[in-house]
Amino acid sequence: MCGIFAVLGCADCSQAQRARVLACSRRLKHRGPDWSGVYQDEGNFLAQQRLAVVSPLSGDQPLFNQDHTVVVVANGEIYNHKKIRKQFTGKHTFTTGSDCEVIIALYEYGENFVDMLDGVFAFVLYDTRNKTFIAARDAIGVNPLYIGWGGDGSVWFSSEMKALNEDCDRFELFPPGHLYSSAAGGFRRWYNPVWFAEQVPAAPYDPLVLREAFEKAVIKRLMTDVPFGVLLSGGLDSSLVASVTKRHLVETEAAEKFGTELHSFVVGLEGSPDLKAAREVADYLGTIHHEFHFTVQDGIDAIEEVIYHDETYDVTTIRASTPMFLMARKIKALGVKMVLSGEGSDELLGGYLYFHFAPNKEEFHKETCRKVKALHQYDCLRANKATSAWGLEVRVPFLDKEFIDVAMGMDPEWKMYNKSLGRIEKWVMRKAFDDEENPYLPKHILYRQKEQFSDGVGYSWIDGLKAFTEQQVTDEMMSNAAQLYPYNTPVNKEAYYYRMIFERLFPQDSARETVPWGPSIACSTPAAIEWVEQWKASNDPSGRFISSHDAAADHANGKEVAVVANGGHVPAPNGAVNGTDVAVAIAA
């Protein structure tokens, strides 16, 4: 993980402007504390803050071709870089061991090469021969990138908003799966998978194909020259990542450098569901397990830093980022620079509990498409920025392009919750790894119900946040919310509190427009709210407030009841969707 920054076509090429570019780039130093570099050609500047994970003794950036006519800064992991290097034997001279140097070799044959990169990335490439440049971002947006425009017509790029928000007239998220070309005059999409059209696929479910695709995705992400580990919450996704890593680690070059012991990490409040489940999985797999505890007050004290690094006021993202932010600092203190994590599974496979109520497979599939397309604004943003705040890199095998093709290419009927057939959420993944002869995980872990990260670290974390923000934001403040924040108006006191901090840190109109907004239940998109009438009255995105969650429902006097936002119980309004009882908690 690195921080990149570039200004192209600047009218000012003075030493003062160079100093300004360096100052902006240093705002990204947390992303790359190992080294920094800058290149200037008249009014064109490229800078990088490096976190050295691959080839730490070489590969400092910017990177150049042999005659220094092409220069690139990149934040990426290119997992097929060795294969590409072989293809250019005798055609291109590589000068470093950096996996990102292959970008230059591929560019020599034109701009349409980005789909040949297997990995995650954000890069800016400048060609001194014709004074043109290109920039690109990976398929799903695992690595962040922003684009801005200066008053002098210059184009700015940055890994994070904080490096350009004060200097650009306007700026926005660089869209995932796109390339920006100065020669062509704008954006074009380079990532065009079949599923993007949201047409319902018909391929049958093949558990062995799904398993093989995921194992390949994990193995390729073990490309590292520094110590690494796995994030392990004890849920299905992180447990499978840990299990596959442990099983195949011995086959990798990483094992030759660091041995076959695998370190795992978890964070939570004392007594939280994740701590217990993670400890059990770690014992089963034989990892060297590290358990970090935090208090609600620890989390509250970190919120302003979290918002600064995450650059969002989205409630769910901040809730989940805070424990991850605290854990990342502890992990980095142990000398670990890279971890694998389980983000992306719920979006691809319909793992969130609200998917139980999808009215048909068409709606189910469209919702998974919407969720995957929005990942760069939610879980990818959280996983990347909350950890890079401390110079820790997170890799996410579920978002491997080949695995995505398999997961999104199967008939969604197989992914749907079906009680009569014994299929719970993410059944296709559970079944694929349900190996009786050589088990990957204990059965009860393999079939553990979904927890949102902010819930799994301890239910009192969210309750504590709500109680704290209730004290900080008065009813009078809430009554004026629409006047003070007419764009994406906060709907509750917790959202209002986060928005106050965000506006103080990032007061520009462009900044607030980078944050997604809209009603959500258990992390749904606004479109899925239409599935159940009662959901429209909820204003809390926690997964606990869907009655299919074990912790949210209790049978009392034959009535379904659900936990509400303040921790009490009320009779839940009931209906039916496809024969499934519906009970939804109305958040207070």
Which parts are annotated binding residues?
99, 231, 267, 341-342
Which parts are annotated binding residues for ATP?
231, 267, 341-342
DSSP readout, 107-155? HTT-STTGGG--EEEEEEEEETTTTEEEEEE-SS--S--EEEE-TTS-E
Give the pLDDT of residue 522. 83
Give the pLDDT of residue 58. 84
Give the pLDDT of residue 536. 82
Q: State the sign of the Cα–Cα–Cα–Cα dihedral 421, 425, 431, 434.
A: negative
The residue assigned the tokens 């070489």 is 58
E strands, 278-421, are 288-293, 338-340, 393-395
Cα separation, 45 vs 150, in Å, equals 14
What's the residue count for the chain?
588
3-state helix, strand, coil in the chain (%, to 5): 40, 20, 40
- The helix/strand/coil state of 25 is helix
Which parts are annotated binding residues for L-glutamine?
99
Q: Which of 39, 34, 64 is nearest to 49 (CA)?
A: 34
Asked whether 568 and 520 are in contact (CB, 8 A), the reply is no
CA 524 to chain centre: 16
Give the pLDDT of residue 566. 27
Query: Helices 236-248 and 273-285: crossing angle, nearest 10°?
Result: 20
Asked whether 450 and 522 are in contact (CB, 8 A), the reply is no
Could you tell me the domains of the chain? 3-192 (3.60.20.10), 212-464 (3.40.50.620)
In angstroms, what is the C-alpha Rg of the chain?
24
Which residues have a catalytic role annotated? 2
Cα separation, 558 vs 561, in Å, equals 9
pLDDT along the chain (588 residues), means of 10: 95 97 98 96 97 88 95 97 95 93 94 97 98 98 98 97 98 98 97 96 97 98 96 95 97 93 96 90 98 96 98 96 98 97 97 95 98 98 98 98 98 96 96 97 86 62 95 98 97 97 98 94 91 81 59 36 29 34 29
pTM score: 0.92
Give the pLDDT of residue 56. 87
Give the pLDDT of residue 55. 87
Q: Which of 166, 171, 169 is nearest to 144 (CA)?
A: 171
